[in-house]
């Protein structure tokens, strides 16, 4: 009933659409990825989450973001990040500003400094663990700085006395 008659041809418009949509800003769920066949030797720095499923040797600095070492990942590096999740193998020291999570199939050989740490059954952790808050970290830095300045002031009189005795 509402079908077009066979003798009337329906034609589609001949114009093509050349409109390209504008790319939106990067979504917060995007992350950098190092695949299983990739080997990196050197320093990695960034400001986005990082997923490592390959091999990395050197250092990793991803302040304010998460570093995830996948099941195939093998890392021989010091890691500095907000959050670290280990499902593969890591040899090196880790400093977190939020938390460290070692999953059941993960292993870590190195020292840890983090406010929170989670180690699942079956995970391997060999090294020292220091759990401290951000304020404790700042207090320690201030204490070390003041002790260095006190030590240098104490050495000045010794140097003056040595020069006077000569």
Residue 142 resides in a domain: no
Contact between residue 103 and residue 83 where contact means Cβ atoms under 8 Å apart: no
The number of distinct structural domains making up the chain is 1
Enclosing H/E stretch for 25: none
Does position 24 have pLDDT exceeding 50, yes or no? no
pLDDT digits (tens, 9 = 90+) for 7-22: 555 555 555 666 555 5
Residue 156 resides in a domain: no
DSSP string, 65-128: EEEEE-TT-EEEEEEEEEEEEESSEEES-EEEEEEEEE-TT-EEES-EEESEEEE-TT-EEES-
Give the pLDDT mean for 159-163: 51
Q: Which of 68, 30, 61 is nearest to 44 (CA)?
A: 61
Give the pLDDT mean for 83-93: 97
pLDDT recorded at residue 101: 97
Residue 70 resides in a domain: yes
pLDDT bin (cut points 50, 70, 90) of residue 166 is: very low
Residue 25 resides in a domain: no
Cβ contacts of 102 within 8 Å, gap of 6 or more: 86, 108, 117, 118, 119, 120, 123, 124, 125
The pLDDT mean for the chain works out to 80
> Is 2 or 104 the better-scoring residue by pLDDT?
104
pTM (predicted TM-score): 0.65
Report d(CA 96, CA 116) in Å as an integer: 8
Residue 159 resides in a domain: no
Does position 162 have pLDDT exceeding 70, yes or no? no
Cβ contacts of 133 within 8 Å, gap of 6 or more: 115
Residue 110 resides in a domain: yes
Residue 78 resides in a domain: yes
Residue 94 resides in a domain: yes
- Taking the CB of residue 137, how many other CB atoms lie within 10 A of it? 15
pLDDT recorded at residue 133: 76
Phi, psi of 22 (to 5 degrees): -75, 135
- Domain that residue 116 falls in: 32-132
pLDDT digits (tens, 9 = 90+) for 25-63: 444 568 899 999 999 999 999 999 999 999 999 999 998
Give the pLDDT mean for 83-89: 97
């Amino acid at each position: 009933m509402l079908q077009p008659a066979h003798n009337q041809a329906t034609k589609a418009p001949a114009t093509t659409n050349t409109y390209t949509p504008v790319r939106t800003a990067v979504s917060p769920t995007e992350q950098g990825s190092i695949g299983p066949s990739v080997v990196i030797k050197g320093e990695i720095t960034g400001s986005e989450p990082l997923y490592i499923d390959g091999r990395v040797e050197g250092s990793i600095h991803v302040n304010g973001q998460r570093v995830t070492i996948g099941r195939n990942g093998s890392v021989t590096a010091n890691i500095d990040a907000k959050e670290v999740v280990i499902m593969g193998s890591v040899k090196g020291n880790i400093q977190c500003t939020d938390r460290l999570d070692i999953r059941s199939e993960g292993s870590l050989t190195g020292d840890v400094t983090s406010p929170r740490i989670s180690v699942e059954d079956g995970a391997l952790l060999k090294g020292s663990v220091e759990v401290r808050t951000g304020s404790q970290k700042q207090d320690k830095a201030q204490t070390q700085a003041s002790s260095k300045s006190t030590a240098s002031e104490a050495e000045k009189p010794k140097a003056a006395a040595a020069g006077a005795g000569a």
